[in-house]
Amino acid sequence: MEDQIIKTTNLMKTFGKVTALNDLNMQAPKGISGFIGKNGSGKTTTIGILLGLIQSNGGTATVFGLDCWHDSFEIRRRMGVMHETNVYPGSFSGQRFLVHVAKLYGISQINPTVNELLKDVGLTYAQDKPIKTYSAGMFKRLGLAQALIGSPEMAILDEPTANIDPLGRITLLKKIKDMHEKHGTNFLISTHILSDLEKICNWLIIIDQGKIVDQGYMNNLTEKYSASIYKIEVSNPQVFAETIQKLDTVDKVWIEGDKVFCKVNNPEVFNEDIPKIASKLKLRLKSFQQMLGTLEEIYTQTVGEKPT
């Protein structure tokens, strides 16, 4: 039963008149969990509550089965965090800073641990430079190192790949995956860059306007959503889209480029209808396929908007 590391029930948080979290029921099991949602959907607020930095207005939040506000110290002892904003003491060298953090976690073998971490995140070459001279990518890597320093059971990373070039992103994500495989560290990664998560996550949480829209194992979700999405290429997408919009089997239609996409509720019937409609409208049906679920489609369907 204690499979879920993170669990919130009906979690509420308001800032004055702004409702940041609205009955949030979120779960994250062992493994690498992706936490996705638009800007302002409540990701950072949720993370703040999980760490005991922010107090909720209602509902419960637990990590490792412990209450996030009252037992936050014990939770933080077993968890590492990398926040959205990276503020590190600029005058310290990366190495010296990590030694300081290691001491707070009460690590016995400080220097070997720090050196290994620096190597793992690929920062050894800059370990003696003052942090203020680091680039954005180096900041993120230092952030990852300080999150992983206490060999945490779980590390929360808030937008770890923001501001990083594509190559740096791939390297960082690979590091995260390596860490999971090497030390069994579990991750909760918040982001709005979907392609990032596709490669490494096994669990996905989608949040919108302070509510969970869907969550589950990646492969279950892709199956669930892929079956109902179609991509159709016809000679006149506009006319075609307008026509199928009226069908009962079709929930939603949108056009991207010269392709028509639609979400259907009865694939069997729809499969047979498409060629008929095309010939009736005297349109040429170039291609017609059920989508393989990618994160982008899941996201588009749940949050209902093109991802950023």
Partner 1 sequence: MNKTNPKTFSRLMLWEIEGCLNLPTLLLIVASAIVAVLIQSSSPRSLSNSYINLYDGASIIFLILTLVTCTLFSHSFAGSLGKGELKRILSYPVKRWQVFTSKIIALTLIVFSVYASAFTLNLYLSSLSPLEPMFYISIFTMFLHLLLVCAVSVGISIALRSELMSTLASFLLLFGLDMAFDYRSYLSSNGRFTYIFSYFQQVFHPNFSYSILEPPATAQQALISIATPLFVVAIVLIGVFVYFTRKMEVD
CA 224 to chain centre: 18
Residue 290 sits in the site that holds Mg ion (CB under 5 A): no
Least Cβ distance, residue 91 to ligand ATP (angstroms):
28
| Contact pattern from residue 135 through residue 154 relative to partner 1, giving x for each residue in contact according to CB under 8 A and a dash for the rest | ---------------x----
Which residues, in sequence order, are CB contacts of 70 under 8 Å at separation 6+? none
H or E element, residue 54: none
Of ligand ATP, Mg ion, partner 1, none, which one sits near residue 88, judging by CB under 5 to 8 A according to partner kind? partner 1
Of Mg ion, ligand ATP, partner 1, none, which one sits near residue 56, judging by CB under 5 to 8 A according to partner kind? none
Residue 101 sits in the site that holds partner 1 (CB under 8 A): yes
Angle, alpha carbons 49-192-39 (nearest 5°): 65
Of the candidate spans 47-55, 210-218, 267-275, 283-291, the one that interacts with partner 1 by CB under 8 A turns out to be 47-55
Which member of 19, 27, 44, 62 binds Mg ion (CB under 5 A)?
44
Least Cβ distance, residue 272 to partner 1 (angstroms):
54
DSSP bridge pairs for 259? 233, 256
CA 276 to chain centre: 41
Least Cβ distance, residue 39 to Mg ion (angstroms):
7
DSSP of 228-242, one letter per residue?
TEEEEEES-HHHHHH
Residue 64 sits in the site that holds partner 1 (CB under 8 A): no
Residue 132 sits in the site that holds partner 1 (CB under 8 A): no
Of the candidate spans 42-50, 105-113, 117-125, 176-184, the one that interacts with Mg ion by CB under 5 A turns out to be 42-50
Residue 160 sits in the site that holds partner 1 (CB under 8 A): no
Residue 55 sits in the site that holds partner 1 (CB under 8 A): yes
**257 phi-psi bin (left φ>0, alpha ψ -120 to 50, beta other):** left
The answer to whether residues 166 and 182 touch, using CB atoms and an 8 Å cutoff, is: no
How far apart, in whole angstroms, are the C-alpha atoms of residue 117 and residue 111?
10
Residue 81 sits in the site that holds partner 1 (CB under 8 A): yes
Of the candidate spans 78-86, 92-100, 124-132, 140-148, the one that interacts with Mg ion by CB under 5 A turns out to be 78-86
Which member of 31, 38, 59, 83 binds partner 1 (CB under 8 A)?
83
CA distances to 38, 295, 306 from 194, in Å? 11, 6, 11
Q: Which residues of 70-99 are buried (b: 16+ CB within 10 A; e: fewer)?
A: ebbeebbeebbbbbeebebeeeebbbebbb
Of the candidate spans 34-42, 50-58, 190-198, 255-263, the one that interacts with partner 1 by CB under 8 A turns out to be 50-58
Binding positions for Mg ion, rule: CB under 5 A: 43-44, 84
